[in-house]
Every structure is written in structure tokens, then in C-alpha cells.
């Protein structure tokens, strides 16, 4: 039986990756601690936030996952406490930069857990650098091309705010101004560029897609269609969850991802 607690303490760090100071939150066993828990391996798990909002909303999930694994949540360049790059970065550059950050921090092959626009960064990394990835979780993968223009998606995001926990709305309200409307729109455009779409057929690691049943930004049909592009993917719907699943539906989200990570970990055990 897995021991449950109120969650693990977090540590903050800053690391230079190229021309950016990347801030991150870390929890779980230190490098020198035992590599297994009850015979199962301790895995590295990386949580990647969505558009314009910092890693702060991922902290409750991070603490829960860290009961059993080493967990990392970086702020992508220009978001939260990370410094801004000299220019806007493409999804490919963000993915390569995340890989370089993993190298600097000492994150081994990991389970990557993306949320919203962070899913595209995670999928890019898995397709381009498969040796760094044990499994992939895409939570409310955005943007959904069937949900209209960037302006319409902004309206849907506003509607979603009324469905979120107050803490999620408060974090977004304080993080979005730093990125600005222009930065948000440029991020959506970067995600929509055809030439920068990840090669999902190259992602042969186990993949889990999570859909929020009350998410106005991402439809169930989009999540199912996206899952069909991966060689090995499954879909779980959390019926009462809005878009901000990692905070507004933290309990079912943690349970779902924990089960997936444990399954990935069992597959890593020597026969």
C-alpha cells in the first residue's frame, strides 16, 4: 500500500540554459536517495505548464507525485520567474530548450506531463529526443483547431475562468499580464504553425491523453482524433474537470497520472 501524506516539501532552483535563467520547482527524493520504493523504481517526472501561466498552479500535483517520484516543474522562458529570451521561441526551440534544461538539472529519461499548450512542447521533445522520454501525458492538449480563431479561443478561456477553482483564476490573473496579450497571441500562432507540428508517429513511448469533460477550450473529439495519431495512446476523460485540470481537478488528475507513471515504471523493471 502506498503511503499517503499531505504532500512533499518543494525546493526552488534557478539554472542558466543558453541565454535564459530557468526557474523551477522540484520535489521528491534527492539524487543520493534510494532508487526504488517498495521494489518499484523512482522515476523522474517533468510537469510542463500551459500558455502564459507559471508553474505555481502545478505545485499541488507536484507535491502529490513527489511522494513516490522525483518531480520537476520548470517555468518556460519568459513565463513566471524565468527570464525572457532575446526573441520569441518556436515550439521546436522550446522543446529543445527543455531537453537542454533537463541536461543541466540532471533529469534522466523522464515521464513528461504537459498541460494545455505545454502538451505541444512535450510532444515535440518526445518526437525529437525519444531517448529522454519514458512516457508522455498530454492534459487538455491545446490549441484545438476546431475551437475557432485565437480571438474565439481567448473568449473560451475567459468562460473557462468561471469554472476553475479560485486559486487557478488568481494565478492566471497575476501571470498573464507579464506575458501580455501580444505574447499570448504569438504563442498561439507559434503552436498553430504547420511546419512546427510534432511528428506524432515518432512518439513510440506509452502516451496518455486526459480530457476535461467541462473544458470549453478542448473538445472530446479533438482529444480522440489526436490520440489516433500516436502509435500507442489511450484517453481518459475526467467528467467534471474544466481546462485547468492539474489544479481544479487535482485529485482525479493525480490518481490518473500516478497509475500511468506506475505502469511505465513497472515496464522499466528488469525481467
What is the CATH number that goes with domain 10-268?
3.40.50.1820
- For residue range 135-179, what is the model confidence (pLDDT) as tens digits? 999 999 998 888 777 677 778 878 888 899 999 989 998 998 988
As a whole-number percent, the residues of the chain with pLDDT over 70 amount to 92
In DSSP terms, which residues pair with 230 in a beta bridge? none
Taking 50 as the threshold, does the pLDDT of residue 1 lie above it? no
- Mean pLDDT for 96-108 is 97
Phi, then psi, of 116 in degrees rounded to 5: 55, -125
pLDDT of residue 180: 87
Cell of 165: 477553482
Q: Predicted confidence band at 7 (pLDDT cuts at 50, 70, 90)?
A: low
Give residue 193's Cα distance to chain centre. 20
Residue among 203, 157, 166, 132 nearest 50 (CA): 157
Residue 129 has pLDDT above 70, yes or no: yes
| Rounded alpha-carbon distances, angstroms, from residue 234 to 137, 153, 202, 207, 224 | 10, 26, 16, 7, 9
Report domain extents, the chain: 10-268
Amino acid at each position: 500500500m502506498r503511503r499517503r501524506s499531505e504532500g512533499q516539501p518543494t525546493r526552488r532552483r534557478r539554472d542558466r540554459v543558453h541565454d535564459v535563467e530557468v526557474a523551477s520547482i522540484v520535489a521528491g527524493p534527492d539524487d543520493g536517495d534510494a532508487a526504488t520504493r517498495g521494489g518499484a523504481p523512482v522515476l523522474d517526472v517533468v510537469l510542463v505548464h500551459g500558455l502564459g501561466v507559471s508553474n505555481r498552479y502545478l505545485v499541488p500535483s507536484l507535491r502529490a507525485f513527489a511522494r513516490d517520484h522525483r518531480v520537476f516543474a520548470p517555468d518556460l522562458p519568459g513565463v513566471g520567474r524565468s527570464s525572457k529570451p532575446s526573441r520569441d521561441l518556436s515550439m521546436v526551440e522550446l522543446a529543445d530548450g527543455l531537453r537542454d534544461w533537463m541536461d543541466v538539472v540532471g533529469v534522466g529519461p523522464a515521464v513528461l506531463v504537459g498541460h494545455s499548450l505545454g502538451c505541444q512542447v512535450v510532444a515535440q521533445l518526445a518526437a525529437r529526443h525519444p531517448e529522454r522520454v519514458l512516457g508522455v501525458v498530454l492534459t487538455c492538449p491545446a490549441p484545438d483547431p476546431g475551437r475557432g480563431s485565437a480571438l474565439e479561443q481567448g473568449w473560451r478561456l475567459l468562460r473557462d475562468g468561471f469554472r476553475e477553482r479560485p486559486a487557478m483564476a488568481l494565478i492566471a490573473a497575476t501571470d498573464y499580464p507579464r506575458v501580455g496579450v501580444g505574447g499570448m497571441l504569438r504563442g498561439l500562432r507559434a503552436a498553430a504553425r504547420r511546419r512546427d507540428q510534432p511528428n506524432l508517429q515518432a512518439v513510440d513511448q506509452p502516451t496518455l491523453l486526459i480530457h476535461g469533460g467541462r473544458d470549453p477550450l478542448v473538445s472530446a473529439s479533438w482529444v480522440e482524433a489526436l490520440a489516433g495519431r500516436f502509435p500507442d495512446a489511450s484517453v481518459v476523460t475526467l467528467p467534471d474537470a474544466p481546462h485547468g485540470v492539474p489544479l481544479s481537478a487535482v485529485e482525479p488528475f493525480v490518481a490518473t497520472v500516478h497509475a500511468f507513471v506506475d505502469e511505465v515504471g513497472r515496464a522499466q523493471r528488469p525481467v
